Structure 1
Amino acid sequence: MAIKNPYQAYQNNSVNTASPGELTLMLYNGCLKFLHLGKKAIEEGNIQEKNINIQKAQNIIQEFMVTLNMDIPMSKNLQSLYDYMYRQLISANVKSDAAIIDEVEGMIVELRDTWKQVIQLHRQQQHGSVQGGQV
């Protein structure tokens, strides 16, 4: 059986084999993509595309909110931040305000970059413990 769309197959495989941390990173990147497309649609005056893409970014932020482990104290702070971003995107959508999207985008970039560092540290620790165990 031939693969109809190799890129789609690769993308599906990437998601299916990703760790939870990598999935979170993918979601942050997806959110940034939709924010960018939402801003582009505002610039082009395309109300339908603006609405679709901002809502997709909101859906990702909402997913972050519902998957927080509220037993961890930092999660309360993250929930407040996610809630703020979610509400700001509602405002950006209603007002067609790209500046609000820029604000949210900046916060998402910081969270994404932090996640990248966490993943890298985790990999280094795993790699170091494997090498450390070998003599």
Structure 2
Amino acid sequence: MPTQTAYNAYQQNSVTTASPGELTLMLYNGCLKFLHQSKKAIVEKNIEGKNTNIQKAQAIISELMSTLNMDIALSQQMFSLYDFMKNRLTEANIKNDISIIDEVEGYVVEFRDTWREVIRINRQKQFSGNQV
């Protein structure tokens, strides 16, 4: 399957050449993908798929938690929010509750969009010659 091999190589290259900010954006997007797949699995009554995708989303949230600089007050607040999201996903997994996944998805979208804007502003500053 040469097309799939080329796509996998492209994906691997995009990860290895991404900036830390872009990697964080990729984590948010991956989390959203797994949340969407978990909701689909609930609708399809695919318990294994639901569980696997919720656990993948939780693993991404754990990774985001591990990257926080806990010397910064905002990071401490983010840690608490990420922990809340992981706990809500555990509850969604137990209850097969799409509305809880929607709630967590809303937070992830907000964080992702904010992070995307930060990257955009930083790039503007870099290209205009201003230091970040």
Q: Tell me the TM-score normalized by structure 1.
A: 0.93
Quote the offset at 1:4 in angstroms.
6.4
In structure 1, how many angstroms separate the alpha carbons of the residues matched to 2:4 and 2:101? 36
In structure 2, how many angstroms separate the alpha carbons of the residues matched to 1:47 and 1:4? 28
1:126 and 2:126 correspond: yes
In structure 2, how many angstroms separate the alpha carbons of the residues matched to 1:43 and 1:93? 13
The residue identity in structure 1 corresponding to 2:106 is G
Quote the offset at 1:85 in angstroms.
0.1
In structure 2, how many angstroms separate the alpha carbons of the residues matched to 1:67 and 1:87? 19
1:76 and 2:76 correspond: yes
1:28 and 2:28 correspond: yes
1:89-114 per-position Cα deviation (integer Å, ceiling 9, x unaligned): 00000100000000000000000000
- Aligned partners of 1:3 and 1:9 also within 8 Å: no
In structure 1, how many angstroms separate the alpha carbons of the residues matched to 2:4 and 2:33? 25
In structure 2, how many angstroms separate the alpha carbons of the residues matched to 1:86 and 1:68? 16
Unaligned runs of 5+ in 2: none
1:105 and 2:75 correspond: no
**Runs in 1 of length 4+ with deviation above 3 angstroms?**
none
Q: Structure 1 80/13 Cα, relative in aligned 2: closer, same or farther at 3 Å?
A: same
Unaligned runs of 5+ in 1: 131-135
The residue identity in structure 1 corresponding to 2:17 is T
Q: Structure 1 29/4 Cα, relative in aligned 2: closer, same or farther at 3 Å?
A: closer
1:46-76 per-position Cα deviation (integer Å, ceiling 9, x unaligned): 0000000000000000111111100111001
Quote the offset at 1:3 in angstroms.
8.1
Report % sequence identity. Answer: 63
The residue identity in structure 1 corresponding to 2:48 is Q
In structure 1, how many angstroms separate the alpha carbons of the residues matched to 2:33 and 2:82? 17
CA RMSD of superposed structures (Å):
1.3
